[in-house]
Chain A
Amino acid sequence: MSKALKAKDQLVRILVPAGKAAPTPPVGPALGARGVKSMDFCKEFNARTAHIEPGVPTPTLITVEPDRTFSFITKTPPTTYLLKKTAGIEKGTGRPGHEVTGTISLKHVYEVAKIKAKDAHLKHLKLESIASTVIGTAKSLGLQVVP
């Protein structure tokens, strides 16, 4: 209110396969529209995700400042992706609660929750709470959770 507001930082949320940035359709226009050179972003992204298995979708949050410099944060793979890989299914159901696509054990849920707990925006939560959210996601995919 008292300060003169400059143009705000722009946030871009995008899902990029690890180690495989720089395709024009997803990444190029999303960043180029905000004045970021996609090659710079892709080189830095690939360097930062070098320790991850290539192809794993990685949600990233890119902050573009008014002077066109950017910074980004990478997060753990989406819970649905991890659950689908563990259960061995390609897609979730179109009718959760009515159709069952697969079965998962609580041990799978625990391991997925351990991975998600590494995220910065989840570190204040108990592992028990994270595990219950993972169970909720599994239900929405049509996965049956058994002890």
Chain B
Amino acid sequence: MMFLLLSRSSIRRPVFSPRLARGYVAKSSNTERIPNISAKDTSAAEEKTLSSCPPGTILEGLNYLKGQPPVIALPDDEYPSWLWDLLKPKVYEDDGPGGKAEKKRLRKENQQRIKDQNFMKTQ
């Protein structure tokens, strides 16, 4: 019985192994936080410019009238807000059962199912 008690206490005593030391060092380091702050700054700056086309770019070929000055790209603010949503898939408000949103969704699913079945028939 005494031998067992001794062996238990010996197990609980912390051993200064290289593994434990490495763990403590990794937690206390501050090097990870600094790159995060700089990443936030650049992403905030990038979010402000919505367009890849900088203002002042000449849009060629759109001045098809005689004597028309070249068409120049304006700053992003001067374009209507819907312009930047045109490339995103169109979102339909949920009207409830039998509404427009449900019809669009069901038609899309049906068309995709037919396409998948047609493809599987060729395999």
A residues lining the B interface (CB < 8 Å)? 50-53, 56, 77, 82, 84-86, 88, 105-112, 115, 127-128, 131-132, 135, 145-147
Contacts of A111 in B (CB 8 A): 59, 62, 71
Could you list some 20 contacts between A and B, CB below 8 A? Answer: A52-B64, A53-B63, A53-B64, A53-B65, A82-B62, A85-B60, A106-B79, A106-B84, A106-B86, A107-B57, A107-B59, A107-B73, A108-B53, A109-B86, A111-B62, A115-B62, A128-B86, A135-B87, A147-B52, A147-B87
CB distance from A85 to the nearest CB of B (A): 3
Q: Top 3 A-B pairs ranked by shortest CB distance?
A: A85-B61, A105-B53, A107-B53
With an 8 A cutoff between CB atoms, is B106 at the interface? no
Judge whether B84 and A86 touch: CB under 8 Å. Answer: no
Residues of A within 8 A of B110 (CB): none
SS of B interface (majority): loop
Q: A27 vs B66: C-alpha distance in the bound complex, in angstroms?
A: 23
Closest-CB distance, A46 to chain B (whole angstroms)? 13
Cβ–Cβ < 8 Å partners of A51 in chain B: 65-66
One of B50, B64, B65, B71 near A147 (C-beta < 8 A): B50
**Residues of B close to A110: CB separation below 8 A:** 79, 83
Q: How far is the CB of B104 from chain A (nearest CB, A)?
A: 15
Whether a CB of chain A sits under 8 angstroms from the CB of B82 is yes
Known contacts being A85-B60, A105-B53, is A52 close to B84, with CB within 8 Å?
no
C-alpha spacing A131/B64, complex, angstroms: 19
Q: Are A52 and B60 in contact (CB under 8 A)?
A: no
Asked if B66 and A128 sit within 8 Å, CB to CB, the answer is no
